[in-house]
Amino acid sequence: MFCAAIPTTAHALTVQRWIAQSVYVPVYSHIYADSRFKDKPFQLTAILSIRNTDMKIAFTLERVDYYDSTGKLLSRYLKAPITIAPLASTRYIVPESDTLGGSGAKFIVSWSSKEGITEPIIEGIMIGTKMQQGISFVTNSQVLSGSIVK
C-alpha cells in the first residue's frame, strides 16, 4: 500500500531578483581534442549568449569585453549600453578564424536594471567542425559581483 503526505499549506517559491551583475564567462577559441596533435589545436567558434529571463522588465547591457588567456583585453563589443527587452536575447560571436583568445579566453559582462529582475542566463557556446568531426559544448557564467533586491 502506498501512502503520500499531502501538504496542508502552500509554499511560495522565492526567486532572487537582481538589479546588477558583473559575470565571468569562460569561452574557448580552441581546444586540444587529440593528444597526438598537441601543436594543432581544434579551432572553435565561440558564441556569448545573453538571455533576459524576466517576463516584464528589461535590463541594460553595459559591458561585453573579450579577454585572452593571459588576461589581456582583446575587444570591447559595446560602443554604448543597449537594452535587452523582457524575454529577449542577444549574442556575440568570436569566429573560428579568430585565434587570439586561446584556450583560456573569457568575456566579462556587466548589466543593470532599475528594478529587480530574474537572473539572466549568460553562457558561452562553442562549436567546431573539421572533416567528419564535430565538437560543441556550453559553459556557464560565474557572478563576480552584483546587487540583489532585499
pLDDT along the chain (150 residues), means of 10: 58 85 94 69 93 98 97 97 98 93 94 97 93 86 90
Tell me if 92 sits within 8 A of 64, measured CB to CB.
yes
pLDDT of residue 115: 95
Strands (E), the chain: 18-26, 30-31, 42-43, 45-51, 59-67, 73-76, 82-84, 89-94, 106-117, 121-130, 133-140, 142-148
Domains of the chain, earliest start first: 18-148 (2.60.290)
pLDDT of residue 149: 86
User: Which parts of 21-119 fold into alpha helices (H)?
Assistant: none
User: Cβ neighbours of residue 121 under 8 Å, at least 6 residues apart?
Assistant: 49, 50, 51, 53
Put residue 135 in one of left, alpha, beta given phi > 0 → left and psi -120 to 50 → alpha: beta
DSSP 8-state assignment for residue 8: S
Query: How much of the chain is helix, strand and coil, in % rounded to 5?
Result: 0, 55, 45
C-alpha cell at 127: 562549436
